[in-house]
Amino acid sequence: MDLASLYRHRFEEAELPAKNRIWQVLCTDFFARHVGVDDVVVDIGAGYCEFINNIRCGRKIAVDLNPEVARRAGPDVEVINESCSAIASLPDRSVDVVFMSNFLEHLPDKAAVLATLRECHRLLRPGGRAIILQPNIRFLPGEYWDFFDHHTPLTDRSLVEGVQLAGLTPVRVIPRFLPYTTKSRLPQAPWLIRLYLRVPLAWRLLGKQALVVAERRS
């Protein structure tokens, strides 16, 4: 599949600055609590690099097969164009945090999902964390299939089973966290996004993506 062409059609260039502003708030006001300032962080399926560009950490690595990623990554981000299930450039137990957002549904089947989760386990140091943000098909029975490259449906429950099969231990599971896409009803103004993040009741009303944080214990 021509990933670069697909995403050029999906996201207009003029929309990207607003999308990036949303991620700036998500990183500073929420995801930063799971990432240390000296951590080595790998963003698998980095896409437009909104997370890895904006998160504060010691070393930033973006992994994606799309060659467009190198153009989107910030100057402090290392880019690796390798398979998500075989990142040969990174050694065992060399990473503090692995992040994935809206990525696993693009893999062809659950065998590929499990292989990717096991690669996360390989990369993580003991005590390291996998942070996975994922459309939850329990709340998206129809909309989930509106994207041509969505193949593998997951719920918060099946994702938890997957990370456990990969040897990781779930430490936080939020079945409803963010709305489905940045084009949905998630407030666009930074102050409204901050307010949304502080009001879990709003997550239960608008959230259609699950968040799972899992640790490598040994």
- Digit-by-digit pLDDT tens for the chain (218 residues) are 555 555 554 556 767 888 899 999 999 999 999 999 999 999 999 999 999 999 999 999 999 999 889 999 999 999 999 999 999 999 999 999 999 999 999 999 999 999 999 999 999 999 999 999 999 999 987 777 777 788 999 999 999 999 999 999 999 999 999 998 765 555 578 899 999 999 999 999 999 999 999 999 99
Alpha-carbon distance values, 115 to 108, 110, 111, 147 (Å): 11, 8, 6, 23
Confirm if 46 and 37 have CB atoms less than 8 A apart: no
Find the length of the chain.
218
- Tell me, what's the pLDDT at 106? 94
What residues contact residue 22 under an 8 Å CB cut-off, 6+ apart? 50, 182, 186, 188, 193
What residues contact residue 33 under an 8 Å CB cut-off, 6+ apart? none
Question: Does the domain at residues 3-215 carry the CATH identifier 3.40.50.150?
Answer: yes
pTM over 0.75: yes
What residues contact residue 165 under an 8 Å CB cut-off, 6+ apart? 114, 117
